[in-house]
Amino acid sequence: MKILIDNGHGENTPGKRSPKWSDGSQLFEWEYAREIARGVYNQLRAKGIDIELLVKENIDVPLAERARRANEIAARYGKTKTLLVSIHCNASGTGKGTGWEIHTSPGKTKADDLAQIFWDIANRMFGGTWKIRGDWSDGDGDWESNFYILKKTSCPAVLTENFFMDNETDCKFLLSPEGKAQIIQLHVDSILKYIEDYA
């Protein structure tokens, strides 16, 4: 099984950052997603998992190029032997959004199995304290979205929106060492469980 980790955005992407909080801290989504991606990569690599960072650059690599890279690898390893996880932080624009959610492309694919594993583990890890946002209209907890990276990739792909960077409580959790460790853990555990159940 080949695992591809995608990190949202680049250092040149406008917006995609938290407000600067009163203590001077601020989250930049491109930088944060890379830190989480690197942590997931290191931990799974240490467990012998074949894992690759889709975007090694710090600049924003266009979605079409991200999808092209993923599809090239999926063609080599086989669509069902490749998985893509794209890591993001959410923003509501109002500062009032909170919690965690996961997206797949519309319709039932293997991505829904992976998303459900993520959702269940997120609910176990964070459910008592945080809102785990679910869209249950189609019987599972993931959100069906027409995101380019989900629709244009040939392998199962999910996109995690890890808490809201424009909500101060969420953002302080994201920036804390425990928050980072837990978000990395969620991704590591979910990918390992998928490999165990479906690979």
Binding residues (CB under 5 A) for Zn ion: these are 8, 88
Output the CA–CA distances (angstroms, integers) from residue 47 to 38, 50, 56, 188, 192, in the order listed. 14, 9, 21, 10, 9
Nearer to Zn ion, 140 or 166 (CB): 166
Contacts for 75-78: CB closer than 8 Å, 24+ residues apart: 75/154, 77/2
Nearer to Zn ion, 88 or 103 (CB): 88
> Strand 2-7 to strand 50-53: parallel, antiparallel, or no bridges (unpaired)?
parallel
Q: How many CB atoms are located within 10 Å of the residue 60 CB?
A: 18
**Minimum distance of Zn ion from residue 6's CB (angstroms):** 10
Nearer to Zn ion, 60 or 144 (CB): 60
Instruction: Please tell me whether residue 29 adopts helix, strand or coil conformation.
Output: helix
CA end-to-end span of the chain? 7
Nearer to Zn ion, 2 or 30 (CB): 30
**Minimum distance of Zn ion from residue 42's CB (angstroms):** 22
**Minimum distance of Zn ion from residue 88's CB (angstroms):** 4
**Minimum distance of Zn ion from residue 46's CB (angstroms):** 27
